[in-house]
Structure 1
Amino acid sequence: MEDENSKDEEQLEREHFLRIINAFKYYRIHSSKRVKNAVESYQSLSDSHKKMLPGYLDNLTLIQNCVDHNYEIIQLVIKDAEYMFENKTHEPTEDEKEVPPTQFDMDKVRTTIKQFVRDWSADGQSEREACYLPIVMEICEKFPKSKCDPSKISVLVPGAGLGRLAYEIAKQGYSCQGNEWSLFMLMASNFILNKCNAVKSFTLYPWIHQWTNNTYTEDQTASCKFPDVNPAELPPNSNFSMAAGDFLEIYTDPDTFDCVATVFFIDTAHCIISYIETIYNILKPGGYWINLGPLLYHYSDIPNEVSIELSYEELKKVIKQVGFVIQREEKDVRSTYTQNPKSMLRYEYSSVFFTAQKPVS
């Protein structure tokens, strides 16, 4: 029975892997369909209306060229994916059907492209300064290098995305592990951390999927170079790693970490209480949980998914009931997430930033 369950689990993992790979592979086809729709809409115009838009088709051609270039980067991202996960092959077997990806999967691909901007480009610096810098500064304050050996301080970053926050913490000399569940993010982080060894060596066009709220025509085809730093140039003896898997399933050993740093993460839970209990369990006595982010609750509107949505007021009560002592709290921390700074429509979060300590006894 155990062998059958193991095979079933392996098959599910295999199907999930192929689904993500297929979504990446489908990027150009999916994006090109949108360009084709725009061309057909233009062709439906009267001749007098077409004359008012002399450069419209030329711009659509440029957008298609940007799609093609983004796909070249995507091919590099998935090229090494099979070596990441025990030599899984990209190609389905005869018994495995290649299923077209869902709209949700394609949204994830586009989000991953924008994540390169947030985490590893000069264009994302303002977002990082708003979201990551407070975390790094708080860690340095709680574990000052004048009083401790930072290499002996273990920090965990769940929901690490493309790994920039964990990288910055490791750059300060702390022992840091990033954890990520999404295969979209894991494949992209593997590329950026292990295959990019020169500053501004790659180019993406992250905003070409934004067809509305563009002030200038060229805003849609604006380019972004990455990485803004060489990920390979960490200080000697740095201890930095990325771990793949579900946060709740991987981290079960008690009293393991000196600090857990979460940014735009805790609202990814089905049940946020489980996250809080796990963070408390894996922290050493006297350890700190440092958090910044909103309460978007990713599963709240997805059918047939469990989702517990607490207000911040309710969340604080749970944090205290679990055993934490809140030491610092800042509300209304203005922050964005993969935001196009040139868009006529922008979303801004009023995030909360807090530090909670697990009592020594």
Structure 2
Amino acid sequence: MSSVPGQEKNTEERLEEAERLHFQKIVNSFKVYKDHSFSVINRKENYIKNLPNEHQKLLTKNGYTDMLKELRTCVEANNQIVAHILRDVENVFENSKHKNKGEKDKRTIPTGNDLERVQSCLKQLVRDWSEDGALEREQSYSKIIYKLCELYKEEERSQIKVLVPGAGLGRLAFDIAKSGFECQGNEFSLFMLFTSNFVLNKCKTENTFKIYPFIHNFCNNVSDSDQLKSVTFPDVNPNSLPEDSKFSMAAGDFLDIYNDLDYLNSQDCVTTCFFMDCAHNILDFIQTIYKVLKPGGYWINLGPLLYHFSDMPGESSIEPSYDCVKNIIVDFGFEFLEEEKNIVTNYDQNPASMLQYQYKSVYFCCKKK
């Protein structure tokens, strides 16, 4: 069946339009951070006004109303970071320019989930780029980096290509490059890409900026100070890599980018950390990792199987157990060299909170036969 003249062009134009609208929607999500945060505080303050006078006096006496006022100051401080993140954001991608068209388009209005992801980026700054996140990085990143350094001698690392899918704000990829490897991080989320661009390309010195990452967590606080805690970042200078370092970030869907023939048998090692459960079909991820690795290349993984699309409305997903996934990895042509289960790992946790989530993650190192 022949294609209708202009059909391919129209399809390309629709894709470009969808990309532009998505880009603007993420920009808008950051832009409304302050107003949205203030609206949450306003609702609480208005509710207090309708309480019995005796209750209002007790809340005032014991600092609750003052704490809400302090939250506004913290929101203002966070919004300054948001402004830094958005500065020149239309030029964040070398091969694409986005202008602020369609800012008022109804299709670019942020959802509640979008607004939560802006808040999540602030907490991710703690995990990846602050001293307060050192423990979580020790739990998750250190084991991967240690194994890499064990596999390759220091003098050969500059020639070893390491790929980090789902790189988030880029700290794992940065630390791998700092260890002497040629490293490329890959990230799909524009929330993460905007934020990582700010850290990696705009932060020039250590601990220059301050954020209040836990102000949106109103539950399970032992004291007001736990919710109002400030954190400085970055704990290292992102520009401290040696001049001859080979470190880059690739924006886009892992499956779209790395199934290209240019990447076939191109990587010496793939490291995945809290990434494999981000797939609709985890077999797609395994297959693509196998394709990009050189024969004899290594895959190092650490993380749980949360399966982000499980039970999500409008999304399809499969959720095989780890034992099932392990057998599939072997069937694809990998040999397991190391494996460790029940590794306690936290993710974006306020250590002072009454509620703590912990994963019992799985670590393994495989070799492509």
TM-score normalized with structure 2 length:
0.94
Structure 2 partner of 1:143: 152
Structure 2 partner of 1:203: 210
Aligned pair partner of 1:17 in 16, 20, 23: 23
Aligned pair partner of 2:282 in 230, 254, 272: 272
Contact 1:159/1:179, CA 8 A, preserved across alignment: yes
Distance 2:361 2:123 in 1: 20
Contact 1:263/1:292, CA 8 A, preserved across alignment: yes
Show structure 2 runs of 5+ residues with no match. Answer: 1-6
SS at match of 1:149: helix
User: How far did residue 210 of structure 1 move?
Assistant: 0.5
Structure 1 partner of 2:179: 172
1:61 correspondence with 2:41: no
Q: How do 1:95-134 and structure 2 match up within 5 A?
A: 96-97=105-106, 99-134=108-143
- Letter in structure 1 aligned against 2:83: Q
- Letter in structure 2 aligned against 1:9: L
Distance 1:326 1:142 in 2: 14
Aligned pair partner of 2:299 in 268, 289, 292: 289
Structure 1 partner of 2:3: none
Aligned pair partner of 1:352 in 343, 357, 362: 362
User: How far did residue 357 of structure 1 move?
Assistant: 0.5
User: How far did residue 4 of structure 1 move?
Assistant: 1.2
Structure 2 partner of 1:50: 56
User: How far did residue 236 of structure 1 move?
Assistant: 2.9
Structure 2 partner of 1:258: 268
Contact 1:285/1:358, CA 8 A, preserved across alignment: yes
1:230 correspondence with 2:230: no
SS at match of 1:52: helix
Contact 2:163/2:271, CA 8 A, preserved across alignment: yes
SS at match of 2:20: helix
Backbone CA RMSD of aligned residues? 1.2
CA deviation profile, 1:324-350 (whole Å, cap 9, x unmatched): 011100000000111111100010000
SS at match of 1:191: helix
1:343 correspondence with 2:350: no
Distance 2:27 2:53 in 1: 43
Distance 2:304 2:249 in 1: 24
SS at match of 1:289: strand
Contact 1:151/1:173, CA 8 A, preserved across alignment: yes
User: How far did residue 41 of structure 1 move?
Assistant: 2.1
User: How far did residue 163 of structure 1 move?
Assistant: 0.2
Show structure 1 runs of 5+ residues with no match. Answer: none
- Letter in structure 2 aligned against 1:127: E
Structure 1 partner of 2:47: 41
Aligned pair partner of 2:191 in 174, 184, 187: 184
Contact 1:336/1:347, CA 8 A, preserved across alignment: yes
Distance 1:263 1:98 in 2: 33
Contact 1:120/1:228, CA 8 A, preserved across alignment: yes
CA deviation profile, 1:176-214 (whole Å, cap 9, x unmatched): 000000000000000000000111100100000000100
Q: List, as ranges, runs of 4+ consecutive aligned residues in structure 1 with deviation greater than 6 Å.
A: none
- Letter in structure 1 aligned against 2:45: V
User: How far did residue 287 of structure 1 move?
Assistant: 0.4
Structure 1 partner of 2:4: none
Aligned pair partner of 1:81 in 89, 108, 115: 89
- Letter in structure 1 aligned against 2:359: Y
Aligned pair partner of 2:35 in 10, 29, 32: 29
CA deviation profile, 1:93-139 (whole Å, cap 9, x unmatched): 68x44643111111111111110000000000000000000000000
Distance 2:337 2:108 in 1: 50
Contact 2:129/2:235, CA 8 A, preserved across alignment: yes
Contact 2:212/2:228, CA 8 A, preserved across alignment: yes
Contact 1:22/1:98, CA 8 A, preserved across alignment: no
Contact 1:264/1:294, CA 8 A, preserved across alignment: yes
Structure 1 partner of 2:227: 220
TM-score normalized with structure 1 length:
0.96
Contact 1:327/1:357, CA 8 A, preserved across alignment: yes
Distance 1:26 1:98 in 2: 15
The alignment of Structure 1 onto Structure 2 pairs a total of residues equal to 356
Distance 1:176 1:270 in 2: 26
Distance 1:80 1:120 in 2: 21
Contact 2:128/2:171, CA 8 A, preserved across alignment: yes
- Letter in structure 2 aligned against 1:187: F
Contact 1:156/1:178, CA 8 A, preserved across alignment: yes
Contact 2:21/2:108, CA 8 A, preserved across alignment: no
